Structure 1
Amino acid sequence: MQVPLQAVPNQTLTVILDNNTWAVTLKTVEDTTVVSLTLNNTDLLDSARAVAGALIIPSQYEESGNFLFLSSNNQLPYYTQFGVTQSLVYVSAAELAVFRTPPAPPITAADFNPIAALPLRFAPQGYL
């Protein structure tokens, strides 16, 4: 879902997404955009540098969703291009779950075949 941004250098907006209240603050520092995020009145992120195509919130804290900037040619987000060639997108927790790698199954004794041939370098003397 696209989050509406204005083409102004500093802005704070509050949006309700998936029954959570997000406060998104974007500030321009020289030629860089920094992002601060608050989820349900709890600060999650303070002045992180915005980059295109990368999730903003570290993965261990994204159980309520995440955000990313989309831009043409992966340019750094800059306020003059908000709504033109750049946008902020919310990715829900359900959408993130699709991309997570499932945990590897545990290795058990059933995974080993005691009758299998040994590699040559591990073969005992006289082994055929």
Structure 2
Amino acid sequence: MITIPLNNEPNQSLSILLDGINHKLTIKEAGGLMMITIERDSKIIISNTRLLSGILIIPYQYCEAGNFVFLTEDDDVPYYTRFGRQTLVYVTADEMEAYRNGG
């Protein structure tokens, strides 16, 4: 798994190359919740989806190339003031099967 660096800011974007694919992540605060938009090679995969702890973010039909998951203590809901203690990670394509099987 690859840790994705986030700032303690309510609205942020970053671009990162993962598994040979350009990803653009846009994270925004919306009424006490954190939302994420993910683009792969300039194609929007998800738009303004609520961030939850421990749940794969990208829908199944797109996750053959890897996926993102937010890790938090006690399954707390991700929130920008806790980024640093809460971590966004990328599960590589090679790690996906093991991750799905609980490993």
Q: How high is the TM-score relative to the length of structure 2?
A: 0.92
Partner deviation per Cα, 1:11-57 (whole Å, 9 max, x = no partner) = 00001111111000000001100010000111100000000000001
Give the aligned partner of residue 61 of structure 2: 60
Q: Cα distance, 1:99 vs. partner? A: 4.5
- Alignment partners' CA distance in 2, 1:73 and 1:100: 20
Give the aligned partner of residue 45 of structure 1: 46
Give the aligned partner of residue 88 of structure 1: 88
Any gaps of 5 or more consecutive residues in structure 1? 102-128
* Count of residue pairs the alignment pairs up: 100
Higher strand residue share: 2
Partner deviation per Cα, 1:62-98 (whole Å, 9 max, x = no partner) = 0111000001111000000001x20100001110123
- Aligned 1:47-126 pairs, distance under 5 A: 47-83=48-84, 85-99=85-99
Any gaps of 5 or more consecutive residues in structure 2? none
RMSD, aligned CA? 1.2
- Alignment partners' CA distance in 1, 2:14 and 2:87: 14
- Alignment partners' CA distance in 2, 1:24 and 1:86: 16
- Alignment partners' CA distance in 2, 1:32 and 1:99: 26
Aligned identity (percent) is 38
- Alignment partners' CA distance in 1, 2:67 and 2:23: 10
Q: How high is the TM-score relative to the length of structure 1?
A: 0.75
- Aligned 1:11-50 pairs, distance under 5 A: 11-50=12-51
Higher relative contact order (CA 8 A, sep 6+): 2
